[in-house]
Structure 1
Amino acid sequence: MAPPQTHWVIVALETFFCPLPNFTLPAPHTFEFRTYERTRPDQVAERIRDADIIIMTILPLTAEILSAEVSPQLKMISVIASGTDAVDLAACRARGIVVGNTPHCNVTTVTEHVLALYFATRRSIILTNSLTRAGDWVTKGSQQSTMDGPDGKPPRTAREELVGIIGYGAIGRNIEAKAKMLGMKTVVAGRKGAPAPEGRVPFETVIRECSVLIVCLPRSPETLNLISEAEFHQMKPYSLLINVSRGGIVDETALVSALKEGRIAGAGTDVYSQEPAEPGNSVLLAPDTAELNLVTTPHLAWYADETLDNYSRTCGENIAEFVTIGKPRHQVC
């Protein structure tokens, strides 16, 4: 029987996202680090040819890349993120490649970003800033009408809001707690098209009744276009949509139409169907959205010093436990 492996080639493919974990492996384990600030899809195969462990964040790892022909030594993938939709998990399971992620590391900062997007949309901060700089205050004498919702009424205060949380993981639970501290009422949505379990409210009821919808659930085949044309037609005219999940869960074309037609009051998003997003590939950033109450940020809700420290520590723990006991602390498959 071959002796157990004690030397590991660890390849980090996207270090610009997060500094490499500062860790050591217990004896007799040793390792060689190879680091790349950025890696294009066409560079992956060459860089992981003899890798035992890969560290990545959003770089697509397809079934072809994960095949024994391309990555014959690969045993583990450490994802510096909660979401693992960039990794073909079925291909990993087929080969016995272990995948670990770094959950709960960004809970605080994503929650704070959600609240920032809420206040920015409810108070029309970005839109009134642009119009004020353009001289619109002088022209109209007041910006009050800009802040009115499609129902013609002034913005609501936090204690008047009913917040519907779609996705009740660590981030969803933390959002609920912080929203309640602001005096908001909260409900948690059940699965779309299914009876709501105890403690949840049917998805369709949440869409119809809530004044703020916060989307914070993973992307999967079941959640693609979860909120689309039908849902926007049911929402209150004073409702807001805040999306910090993944691109593709909210139908972007339907969202823009809802804003243009006054079916909802505003939206804030940190995620896009295609990333990096720019006016040429995203309807959310097209020139004709400039005067909508639409706040867009570049998928940085997670970004904070605390988050980077958490990611680095958790990634190190995953790798150390994998090489010693064969299972990362946070195993996905």
Structure 2
Amino acid sequence: MPLPTATHHHIVFLQGEVLKIPQLDLPANFTYSQTVHDWTWPSQVPERIGDASIIVLSALRIDAAVLSSEISPNLKLIVIVATGYDCIDLEACRRRGIVVCNCPGANIEAVSEHAIGMYFATRRRLLDMHSATTAGRWKEKGLLMFDYLDKDGGAPLTCQDEVAGIIGNGDVGKRIAMLAKSLGMKVLISDRKSFNTADPSRVPFEAVIKQSTVIFVAVPLMDSTRNYLSTREFQSMTSHAIVINVSRGGTVDEEALVQALRERKISGAAMDVFKDEPAGPGTSPLMADDAKDLNIIATPHVAWLSQRTAVNYATKMKLAIETWIRGQPVNVVS
């Protein structure tokens, strides 16, 4: 394949298995070639991007070492087919003048609906009920309702009795709030932690933590949001509280969350994202053997998965590449 030049770009798709690869419409005199890898592990990145001027990925760590001119001498553009971009060392990109673009707003419907689905699964203990029923425990005991009461012997709350705290008021947070309201929940939109704005629609962070019975986390991962919910916050929550994270792993302190569940400070948790991904029993305390009896729902970072999202991502990916080549890049994060 020809090496990248001022008018020819070689595009490497590192996670083509989860992407719809578009046909690009480039200006006259511009050409491109492409290599599509179905899946790429972090250890494979250096060998795969040496000839690339553009790389496209969904969620893959691209660190300073990979971004060195020795490993990726031709790299000019990184397109992240996702909203979050914490997987990229932006400072290393800035030093080399590598443009980084994301694809925001593509998965709003899917992620918000996934969050609501996780709410019902956690509040109603649906997976536990399914496992017990299919294992024959209902037939053995005759009545299973007492297995699903809270520590005070109370039955689950219904939506009309829920107070939904929205931590993060971006597009996903706004749609979760809309869905929660339509279900009959009282909704509190949290202000930023340790800072109160003059926005009358916002509620101080500490008040949201104390009053909410279900907390939806929808904030990006950055230094200011790392371990945004940790021991102090869990200690302040009502015992009815369940925590649902569809944003980024690392925004919720997993060890502190397990401890709060084990001590029955809160009622349950549902996580689609984890500090270390791919997550499993050896990497997350939420999936350790001693957490199996806790009310935890875990899904493998697929809240975005839907037909609508796939179409939106392909459209935004195509736009990101074409506009950058034309010198008018969109959705630039670095």
Q: TM-score, normalised by structure 1?
A: 0.94
Is 1:63 equivalent to 2:64 in the alignment?
A: yes
**For 1:260 and 1:93, how far apart are their aligned partners in 2?**
44
Is 1:49 equivalent to 2:50 in the alignment?
A: yes
Residue 241 of structure 1 is matched in structure 2 by 243
**Secondary structure at 1:295 match in 2:** strand
Alpha-carbon distance, 1:196 to partner: 4.0
| Structure 2 gap ranges (5+) | none
**For 1:109 and 1:65, how far apart are their aligned partners in 2?**
32
Residue 320 of structure 1 is matched in structure 2 by 322
Aligned positions, number: 329
Q: CA RMSD in A?
A: 1.6
Structure 1 segments (4+ residues) deviating >3 Å: 138-141
**Secondary structure at 1:163 match in 2:** strand
Per-residue CA shift, 1:220-256, capped at 9, x if unaligned?
A: 1111111111111111011111111111111111111
Per-residue CA shift, 1:273-328, capped at 9, x if unaligned?
A: 11111112221112232222211111111111111111111000000000012x32
> In 2, are the aligned partners of 1:190 and 1:197 still within 8 Å (CA)?
no
Residue 180 of structure 2 is matched in structure 1 by 179
**For 1:146 and 1:107, how far apart are their aligned partners in 2?**
35
Counterpart AA for 2:313? Y
**For 1:251 and 1:140, how far apart are their aligned partners in 2?**
38
More divergent stretch after superposition (277-286 vs 213-222): 277-286
Per-residue CA shift, 1:30-52, capped at 9, x if unaligned?
A: 11111111223333223222211
**For 1:84 and 1:64, how far apart are their aligned partners in 2?**
17
Residue 124 of structure 1 is matched in structure 2 by 125
Residue 194 of structure 2 is matched in structure 1 by 193
Counterpart AA for 1:64? A
Per-residue CA shift, 1:46-87, capped at 9, x if unaligned?
A: 322221111112221111211222222211101111111111
More divergent stretch after superposition (186-195 vs 93-102): 186-195
Per-residue CA shift, 1:132-160, capped at 9, x if unaligned?
A: 23333244432222222233211111121
Alpha-carbon distance, 1:100 to partner: 0.5
Alpha-carbon distance, 1:329 to partner: 1.9
**For 1:46 and 1:138, how far apart are their aligned partners in 2?**
57
**Secondary structure at 1:126 match in 2:** helix
> In 2, are the aligned partners of 1:180 and 1:186 still within 8 Å (CA)?
yes
Counterpart AA for 2:30? H
Residue 332 of structure 2 is matched in structure 1 by 331
**For 1:42 and 1:256, how far apart are their aligned partners in 2?**
31
Alpha-carbon distance, 1:212 to partner: 0.7
Alpha-carbon distance, 1:27 to partner: 1.8
**For 2:86 and 2:209, how far apart are their aligned partners in 1?**
26
**For 2:290 and 2:84, how far apart are their aligned partners in 1?**
32
Is 1:229 equivalent to 2:231 in the alignment?
A: yes
Residue 16 of structure 1 is matched in structure 2 by 17
Among residues 250, 253, 262, which one is paired with 2:252 in the alignment? 250
After superposition, the Cα gap between the structure-2 partners of 1:122 and 1:35, relative to the gap in structure 1 and judged at 3 Å, is same
* Matching of residues 1-333 of structure 1 within 5 Å: 5-198=6-199, 199-325=201-327, 327-333=328-334
**For 2:42 and 2:291, how far apart are their aligned partners in 1?**
32
> In 2, are the aligned partners of 1:150 and 1:264 still within 8 Å (CA)?
no
**For 1:255 and 1:55, how far apart are their aligned partners in 2?**
34
Per-residue CA shift, 1:103-157, capped at 9, x if unaligned?
A: 1111011111011001111111011222223333244432222222233211111
More divergent stretch after superposition (131-140 vs 96-105): 131-140
**For 2:97 and 2:223, how far apart are their aligned partners in 1?**
23
**For 2:45 and 2:290, how far apart are their aligned partners in 1?**
38
Alpha-carbon distance, 1:215 to partner: 0.4
Counterpart AA for 2:284? S
Counterpart AA for 2:291? T
Q: TM-score, normalised by structure 2?
A: 0.94
| Structure 1 gap ranges (5+) | none
**Secondary structure at 2:215 match in 1:** strand
**For 1:136 and 1:289, how far apart are their aligned partners in 2?**
21
Counterpart AA for 1:123? R
